[in-house]
Structure 1
């Protein structure tokens, strides 16, 4: 099982990507939405029946819930999904460019996005 990601430019593209992942057998509980703000992530996750990183996924913190995501918290969240420091930093930079990052965990070996 591996962890994969894909970046999207719009909410519509991200929701379509989530639906495509689910159509290929990825469970909704294994798909996570990352954007620069928690509210934006939650909105996309709700539209696509996916998750956001946070208390329910075991990777959030009280500080994140109260104050929102800081750069290091976002990088740490990516690290907790198994990404290297370099990959986590790259993904955080993509969020700074207002990209939407969809992460799929527990994907079957050989599965690609």
Structure 2
């Protein structure tokens, strides 16, 4: 019985020692933002209606509505830059923040 335990422990140790190390999840590739997307947060007192109207007028595409977070993800039209879109949406009534879409990983 003791032999089986020692042998099992030895095998487990050898397998663990031979496994390849994992790469860090926070690589530059994973932190790249989606170049055509913005995340926009809005004030619940004013509501989302002015933002929806601005999205439609700007001809942006609504990708996702983060109802719990009170924000939306949009895709900026190809004929506009991210900087132009950020400036435009920052001026919309009720908008609290406009951020580029990013993929961030915790180590």
| Fold shared per TM-score above 0.5 | no
Higher helix content, 1 or 2: 1
| Higher RCO (CA-CA < 8 Å; seq separation 6+) | 1
Q: Which has the higher strand share?
A: 2
TM normalised by structure 2 equals 0.25
* Length-normalised TM-score, structure 1: 0.24
